Amino acid sequence: MKKYIVFISTGGGFRYAQLLASKVNDEEFDTFVITRDQIKTFFKNHSELNPNNTLIHPRTAYPLRVPWMKDLEDLEKKGFLVINPTKVLRLTSDKLKSSLFLQNRISHPRSWDFSKDKITKKDFNSLPQGKYVAKPYTSVSQGKYVQVFEKDKDFDFSDFKKVLAQIPSDKMVVQEFIDYIALYRVIVINNKALPFSFVDRPTKDRWRVSVCLNKTSMEYVPGPDEKILDLAERTQEIIGGYINFIDIFETKNEGEKKYVLSEINTACILRIHENLANQNISGAIAQGLKEIAAKKLSGKS
Residue whose C-alpha is closest to residue 263's, from 58, 108, 33, 59: 108
pLDDT category, 104, cuts 50, 70, 90? confident
d(CA 294, CA 297): 6
Q: How confident is the model at residue 244 (pLDDT cuts 50, 70, 90)?
A: very high
Percent with pLDDT over 70 in the chain? 94
CA distances to 191, 280, 284 from 57, in Å: 17, 19, 14
Matching CATH number, 178-265, of 3.20.20.140, 3.90.1200.10, 3.30.470.20, 3.40.50.2300:
3.30.470.20
- What does DSSP assign to residue 209? -
pLDDT at position 162 over 60: yes
pTM: 0.88
**CATH code linked to domain 3-84+289-296:** 3.40.50.10490
Q: How many residues does the chain have?
A: 301
**113 contacts 96 by C-beta, under 8 angstroms:** yes
Residue 111, pLDDT > 80, answer: yes
- CA separation, residue 18 to residues 21, 68, 195, 250, 267 (Å): 5, 20, 25, 34, 14
Asked whether the beta carbons of 171 and 164 are under 8 A apart, the reply is: no
pLDDT-derived band of residue 299, with 50, 70 and 90 as boundaries? low
CATH 3.30.1490 fits 110-176, yes or no: yes
pLDDT of residue 17: 94
What are the sequence ranges of the domains in the chain? Answer: 3-84+289-296, 110-176, 178-265
Please, which pLDDT band fits residue 190 given cuts at 50, 70 and 90?
A: very high
